Chain A
Amino acid sequence: MNAVSAVFRREFAAYFATPIAFVFLVIFLVAMGVFTFYVGHYFDMGVADLTVFFSYHPWLYLFLMPALAMRLWAEEKRSGSIELLLTLPLPVWATVLGKFLAAWAFAGLALFLTFPVWLTTLYLGAPDNGVILASYIGSLLMAGTYLAIGAAVSAATTNQVIAFVAAVAVCFLFTAAGAPIVMESLSGWAPAPLVEAVASFSFLTHFSAITEGVIDLRDAIFFLSLTSLFLFANMLIVESGKGG
């Protein structure tokens, strides 16, 4: 565990060593506010809950999480520090996990800083705090999955822009898998089990189940297992790089 924590602390501090942390947090919070209050018309709903706030999370994460993950490996490969990192006595899994946890903790901090939205709702009415807590947990789990995808893609390239664009594309496939645009294009010809299988991978479906207050362990396990899968892929990509 010492190896994981050493990598974690270095990576987490790296976000704050440059203006990345500040810029990201400001954009994250402004975007959350704009979508909740202007695009989502939070005040016109007349309902004291955070459904509209959470409903935009998948779409914001689609861009913000790859932005957070894109540097994790691509930057090391570009600068050459990957050679130092991989020749230190660190198991590859511990490096992969430490980097991921640093990005996830940073995303968790950004999410935590949205608490004024919750305070606003608390002031305006009597929201169901159980549902809000479950939604926050669900949102954090979903952010982890987006980050794991972004980290795996980052390990496959030396270019951060490519890492970002490719991660957004992969994340979009998972986000939109249950959306009408994908479903309608499949349902005409694909067999029903395939359509259902694709739909079952949709982040939107799993996340909205959580935010509606249906706290089903299966949705949490979905995000956790997909995160593990991409972290494992991340490890394989790093290992295969050693082949030259």
Chain B
Amino acid sequence: MLEIDNLTKRFDAVTAVAGLCLTVRPGEVLGFLGPNGAGKTTTMKMVTGFLVPDGGAARICGHDIVTDTLAAQKTLGYLPEGAPAYGEMTPREFLGFIADVRGLSAVAASAACELAVARTSLESVFDRPIETLSKGFRRRVGLAQAILHDPEVLILDEPTDGLDPNQKHAVRDLIRLLSPAKTIVISTHLLEEVEAICSRAIIIDKGRIVADGTPAELAARGPNGKLDDLFRGLTSSDVSGAAA
């Protein structure tokens, strides 16, 4: 369960996120759409505790991210934008560190690593430094890190960016596999991805939600029954005000 209540963030004169309200329930896979600079990544950074909001609140499984940060972060798996990791570590060492931080016992840690590695197909690069891996493998290392402790809430910032079509397919299968029991939010630029795996989509523009519904409902609102037509219509600057 993820509750976002009137979340606001300003950078100097620019309002990146303007009073966002949103509730995502277990079993939902929410596609977070919007043009670059619409506030997707900023929202995710606030929800995960990396940035402190200027106003409003976010709760993860009932824990406020600002006042009860550690409890909220324990129930959370997060893939930050660009899937940052420690380049000099191998996936084995990196996932070991994450398991250590997450407080998993040695037995639980090795079982969790094995499962996460199998789910993200990292076996072949398990002992190679992360900085020597291809973009696709690095993204999957970040994904393995996010799902390692079987979190209730998963927040994934562009999880399939840089993956080839086969790898994209595998990641979508993984998200589908995890989705029944978890609350999942993914941000993406790929509208076909939203139609493939999301049970709900929201489009944000200039820090505000301009559309919210199932992918099929949103597509039906587009002039030709296509999601990308609606996306372009709502987020191009001259009509976004009217649409909101």
Cα–Cα distance between A124 and B98 once the two chains are bound (Å):
51
B103 A86 Cβ-Cβ under 8 A = no
Which of B11, B70, B76, B86 is close to A81, meaning CB atoms less than 8 Å apart?
Answer: B86
Give the segment of A7-15, A44-52, A111-119, A188-196 that binds chain B.
A7-15
- A80 at interface (Cβ–Cβ under 8 A)? yes
Chain A, 186-241, CB within 8 A of any chain B CB? none
Distance in Å: Cβ of B18 to nearest Cβ of chain A: 15
A interface SS class: helix
Q: Which of A85-104 contact B (CB under 8 A)?
A: 86-91
If A6-B97, A242-B50, A244-B11 touch, does A84 touch B89 (CB 8 Å cutoff)? no
Shortest Cβ distance from A99 into chain B, in angstroms?
Answer: 13
Looking at B77-85, B119-127, B160-168, B176-184, the stretch in contact with chain A turns out to be: B77-85
Within 8 A of A (CB), among B19-73: 45, 48-52, 70-71, 73
Q: Is B93 an interface residue (CB 8 A)?
A: yes
* 8 Å CB interface, A11-30 against B: 13-14, 17-18
7 A-B residue pairs with Cβ-Cβ distance under 8 Å, sorted by A, are A7-B101, A17-B88, A79-B84, A80-B81, A84-B80, A84-B84, A244-B9
* Contact A18-B88, Cβ < 8 Å, known A80-B82, A84-B80: yes
Cα distance A137–B98 when bound, in Å?
A: 34
Across the interface, do A91 and B49 meet the contact criterion of CB distance under 8 Å? no
A185 is an interface residue with CB less than 8 A from chain B: no
Q: How far is the CA of A87 from the CA of B129 in the complex (A)?
A: 23
Residue of B nearest to A91 (CB): B70
A89 touches B102 (CB 8 A): yes
Cα-based distance from A200 to B209 in the complex (angstroms): 59
Pair B86/A14 contact, Cβ less than 8 Å: yes
Q: Is the CB of A10 within 8 A of B97?
A: yes
Complex Cα–Cα for A242 and B51 (A): 4
Nearest residue, chain B, Cβ from A13: B93
Known contacts A79-B87, A81-B85; A88/B51 CB under 8 A? no
Q: How far is the CA of A10 from the CA of B89 in the complex (A)?
A: 9
> Does B150 sit within 8 A of A, measured CB to CB?
no
Asked whether A89 and B70 contact (CB < 8 A) given A2-B103, A6-B97, the answer is yes
In the complex, per-residue mask of A120-140: 1 if CB is within 8 Å of any chain B CB, else 0: 000000000000000000000
Question: How many angstroms between the C-alpha atoms of A186 and B85 in the bound complex?
Answer: 49
Residues B89 and A17 in contact, CB atoms below 8 Å apart: yes
Partner of B52, one of A6, A88, A243: A243
The reply to whether the CB of B235 lies closer than 8 angstroms to some CB of chain A is no
Q: Which of B73, B82, B87, B97 is close to A89, meaning CB atoms less than 8 Å apart?
A: B73
Question: Is B74 part of the contact surface with A, judged by Cβ < 8 Å?
Answer: yes
At the interface, yes or no: A184 with Cβ under 8 Å from chain B?
no
- Given B9, B50, B88, B100, which contacts A14 in the complex, CB threshold below 8 Å? B88
Residue A31 lies at the interface, judged by CB distance under 8 Å to chain B:
no
| CB proximity to A under 8 Å, residues B93-113 | 93, 97-98, 100-103
